[in-house]
Amino acid sequence: MMASRFALALIALVATTLSARADVVDLVRVAKAERRLELVSGDRVVRSYAVALGANPIGHKRQQGDERTPEGRYVLDWRNPGSAFSKSIHISYPNADDQAAAKRAGVDPGGMIMIHGQPNGYGWWSWLVQMFDWTNGCIAVTDEEMAEIWHMVEDGTPIEINP
């Protein structure tokens, strides 16, 4: 009896693991106007999250301090488990076009744009904070959602941020 329970538990664990791996996230898509982040596998959305954006969310990020979230296609290129927030994954802003535009305008394009959870120690209030655009240009989710994104999205995954 005990052996059969163990076998069933093991089969369930293997099936869950294989199922999770079947949903390889090959694109992260953000719709700023909808405050929505989607994890996409092939042509299928496998997860969807409500997000908070930069405090000045309309339009593309142009310079340091404008509190805008960039728009365009970037790459999630590295992650920081020791972030001031509950984990963070870096977005490759500014790209060459962003840098050139900032140089022409005589401004610093800014950087360190991330997908991240809540400030460390304050995850309990995400039910309230996530109702507002509060970041300096990053994309914020709850701590629980960030843990899921962290697990499902690999470095090198493209991110498409739409207006």
Domain residue extents for the chain:
24-162
CB 52 within 8 A of CB 32: no
Contacts of residue 85, Cβ cutoff 8 Å, sequence gap at least 6 = 114, 116, 117, 118, 119, 120, 140, 146
Which superfamily is assigned to 24-162 in CATH? L,D-transpeptidase catalytic domain-like (2.40.440.10)
CB 76 within 8 A of CB 153: yes
Provide the pLDDT for residue 1.
Answer: 54
For residue 158, give Cα distances in angstroms to 42, 75, 131, 134.
Answer: 13, 4, 26, 24
The Cβ-side half-sphere exposure at 128, using a 13 Å CA radius, reads: 3
Write the single-letter amino acid at 96.
A
What was the pLDDT predicted at 10? 44
Q: Specify the pLDDT at position 119.
A: 86
The low-confidence residues of the chain, meaning pLDDT below 70, are 1-22
pLDDT digits (tens, 9 = 90+) for 9-53: 445 444 444 444 458 999 999 999 999 999 999 999 999 999 999
